[in-house]
Structure 1
Amino acid sequence: MAMTIALAPPLDAEIGAQLVEAVGTDDFGRLLLSIAGDIAHVDELFGYIVVDGKEPRSIISNSLLAGADERVKSYMHHFYRHDPAVQHMGKIKKGHSFVQRIGLKDIIPYDYREHCFAKPGFSEKLSFGWRGAGYLLVLSFYRIESSDQEVLGKLASLANLTLAIMVKRHAPIDKQSFVDTMERRLQRSFAALTQRERQVCARSIAGHSAKKIGLELGLSAGSVLTYRQRAYQRFDFNRASDFLPALID
């Protein structure tokens, strides 16, 4: 059954900062589960992305219970399309979020209900999602105990922060738009760069090879390397990523 959560209580800012600090480390999933456990007695969590036209891809999973890896594999390969949340996702428009509370009785296929809910002892799953341009992100929290409205509101605040992190790290990027953004920010923060140096550095930050940059800009690969090296030397940098701290808003 679908349910809207309004006026979600704010997440403790210091706790949120700890979670952001752990992004990209092995501690992120464990910390997220620990925070969710303190807020709402969450026993397991699982997040994934679905790029339009492709199969879902797992991006985060952590549990206090045994067998979590097997449950994730079974869900991804066998039960994904039987999930009531997935059936609800098709109605979500770009730029909108959703939340759905799914109880044991809402799971129809017996093997899905038995393997992913009854066997580990879960009474409900709380799924939060975001529909972006060409993709969908979903974060689900599994609980053995049932939830009340206050607990759900607090968990929604944590889910919103986590979904924002997932968007930043895993959402597909419009590469040309990204390059254009990097060029503008290089001009803003590194005014000493020439136009060619900005063009080369923006594409280097996007991960383009010297050969590819040369084809895009009508330059030889050797000229691309020269422009790149000049740009690095202006600021005593060693690599394109050295520009990034000043380019992130």
Structure 2
Amino acid sequence: MRGKSPEMGDTAHQFTQIETCLAQLGQDGFLTPFLEMVEATGAAQIMVFSYTLDHAACLLSRNFRAGALGARLAAEYLDGWFRQDPLFADVLALDGGQSRPGDPADRMSADYRARFFEAPDLSGKSATLIAGERLRLAVNLYWADDAVRQPDLCALLARLALLHFEARPEHAYPAALDVLSDRERAVCLGMLAGKKAELIAAELGLAPSSIITYRKRAYAKLGINSRGSLFALCRP
């Protein structure tokens, strides 16, 4: 009996990941197979933003490479710059159930382009806009200069993200922290509560040096490099 070709094996694994995602919608088990699919596209980072008429929030930020790609992308974007994003009006105009690729290239202001596309160490992004019953999302895959891009899954990833976040129940912590381990999340929640490392360490029964380690790991996963960026990501 002949073995499966690599292509057949990859396809079977992909179907398994999709099946697991669908079975885990709204639950903690969703993110592991979902992020494996994202990383397989060659993306350096994924960020999922949700929008209302006057607000933008980050539901997911996951960096797959060294370097804090999300620090400027998230903190400044959520601090009002999203209103200059041409995709902001596009996603609000979608009817429930609709999705479309987002291409703002010819509609950016010079300041917006310089701040979010020319300065970061990225060669571009692929955006998919999608609307559901409650949420309107932009699912962004950011590419590094040397990435071997495989953007074919963008529409599927956006659909899975929408189903998941619409099914996700209200948590005691922001959705952006779902990608972290329990310890990493606890440290970030302590920081968001304004606690110093020594107090967080005492509450968790850890050494202060461990708090620094968990903070670094959390920042690396989220693609940020500062407390201010953490607060920006976790705005309600």
Q: TM-score normalised by the shorter chain: which range applies?
A: 0.5 to 0.7
Instruction: Provide TM-score, normalisation by structure 1.
Output: 0.51
| Matched AA of 1:13 | F
* Mapping 1:139-150, distance limit 5 Å: 139-145=139-145
The structural deviation recorded for 1:91 is: 3.2
User: Which residue of structure 1 lines up, in the alignment, with residue 181 of structure 2?
Assistant: none
User: Residues 135 and 164 of structure 1: is their aligned pair in 2 closer, same or farther, counting only changes over 3 Å?
Assistant: closer
User: Which residue of structure 1 lines up, in the alignment, with residue 109 of structure 2?
Assistant: 108
User: Residues 170 and 106 of structure 1: is their aligned pair in 2 closer, same or farther, counting only changes over 3 Å?
Assistant: farther
The structural deviation recorded for 1:92 is: 1.9
* Mapping 1:98-177, distance limit 5 Å: 98-103=100-105, 107-110=108-111, 112-133=112-133, 135-145=135-145, 151-169=150-168
* C-alpha separation in 2, matches of 1:10 and 1:130: 27
User: Residues 134 and 17 of structure 1: is their aligned pair in 2 closer, same or farther, counting only changes over 3 Å?
Assistant: closer
Percent of counterpart pairs with the same letter?
A: 15
* C-alpha separation in 1, matches of 2:19 and 2:58: 24
* C-alpha separation in 2, matches of 1:74 and 1:50: 15
User: Which residue of structure 1 lines up, in the alignment, with residue 73 of structure 2?
Assistant: 71
* Mapping 1:175-214, distance limit 5 Å: none
User: Which residue of structure 2 lines up, in the alignment, with residue 220 of structure 1?
Assistant: none
Deviations 1:138-189 (A, max 9, x none): 21111125999x9333232222222221222279xxxxxxxxxxxxxxxxxx
The structural deviation recorded for 1:66 is: 0.9
| Matched AA of 1:95 | G
Contact kept, 8 Å, 1:127 with 1:140, in 2: the verdict is yes
User: Residues 36 and 133 of structure 1: is their aligned pair in 2 closer, same or farther, counting only changes over 3 Å?
Assistant: closer
Which structure is richer in relative contact order (CA contacts within 8 A, separation 6 or more)? 2
Deviations 1:162-220 (A, max 9, x none): 2221222279xxxxxxxxxxxxxxxxxxxxxxxxxxxxxxxxxxxxxxxxxxxxxxxxx
* C-alpha separation in 2, matches of 1:142 and 1:129: 15
Task: Give the secondary structure class of the aligned counterpart of 1:94.
Answer: coil
| Matched AA of 1:130 | I
User: Residues 50 and 10 of structure 1: is their aligned pair in 2 closer, same or farther, counting only changes over 3 Å?
Assistant: farther
Give the number of equivalent residue pairs.
157
* C-alpha separation in 2, matches of 1:27 and 1:90: 26
Task: Give the secondary structure class of the aligned counterpart of 1:12.
Answer: helix
Contact kept, 8 Å, 2:30 with 2:164, in 1: the verdict is no
Structure 1 stretches lacking a partner, 5+ long: 1-8, 172-249
Task: Give the secondary structure class of the aligned counterpart of 1:121.
Answer: coil
Contact kept, 8 Å, 1:82 with 1:109, in 2: the verdict is no
The structural deviation recorded for 1:80 is: 0.3
User: Which residue of structure 1 lines up, in the alignment, with residue 177 of structure 2?
Assistant: none
* C-alpha separation in 2, matches of 1:93 and 1:165: 18
The structural deviation recorded for 1:54 is: 4.1
Computing the radius of gyration from Cα coordinates, the structure with the larger value is 1
Structure 2 stretches lacking a partner, 5+ long: 1-10, 171-236
* C-alpha separation in 2, matches of 1:106 and 1:79: 14
User: Residues 107 and 55 of structure 1: is their aligned pair in 2 closer, same or farther, counting only changes over 3 Å?
Assistant: same
Instruction: Provide TM-score, normalisation by structure 2.
Output: 0.53
C-alpha RMSD of the superposition: 3.6
| Matched AA of 1:75 | Y
